[in-house]
């Protein structure tokens, strides 16, 4: 039963991490690219850390707290770093594709404009 739970957590973690990485590569502008890894990859790594904590807690003596510390560090630093990156982009007046007109979006996505 534990093996099935660990397998599901690892698969879910791998899927979320893959989706976050794919979003980082495929999404068209900075703000959208920033959203993908901060949400999906954080969930993926959290799921992998929970699986690791369960595994080592059941196979070793005592409870494994290393993963809890890593999880806490991840859930604190990911939103703060995303906030600082978006604040820097706003300070540099980086425009989002959502603000552009439809014909400007098409030109920018093809690489014709600027």
What average pLDDT does this structure show over 69-85? 88
Q: Hey, CA dihedral for 51, 54, 57, 63, is it positive or negative?
A: positive
Q: What's this model's pTM, rounded to 2 decimal places?
A: 0.73
Query: Domain limits of the chain?
Result: 2-110
Rounded-to-integer distance, Cα 3 and Cα 88, Å = 44
For 18-30, what is each residue's pLDDT tens digit?
Answer: 999 998 889 888 8
Predicted pLDDT of residue 107: 67
* Whether pLDDT at 112 is above 60: no
Rounded-to-integer distance, Cα 14 and Cα 8, Å = 10
For 36-73, what is each residue's pLDDT tens digit?
Answer: 888 888 889 889 999 998 998 888 877 777 888 888 89
Rounded-to-integer distance, Cα 46 and Cα 9, Å = 9
* Whether pLDDT at 105 is above 80: no
């Amino acid at each position: 039963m534990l093996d099935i739970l660990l397998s599901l957590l690892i698969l879910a973690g791998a899927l979320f991490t893959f989706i976050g990485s794919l979003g980082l590569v495929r999404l068209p502008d900075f703000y959208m690219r920033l959203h993908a890894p901060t949400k999906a990859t954080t969930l993926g790594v959290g799921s992998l850390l929970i699986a690791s904590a369960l595994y080592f807690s059941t196979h070793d003596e005592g409870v494994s707290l290393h993963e809890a510390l890593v999880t806490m560090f991840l859930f604190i630093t990911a939103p703060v770093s995303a906030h600082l990156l978006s604040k820097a982009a706003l300070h540099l007046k980086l425009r989002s594709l959502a603000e552009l007109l439809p014909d400007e979006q098409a030109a920018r996505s093809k690489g014709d404009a600027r």
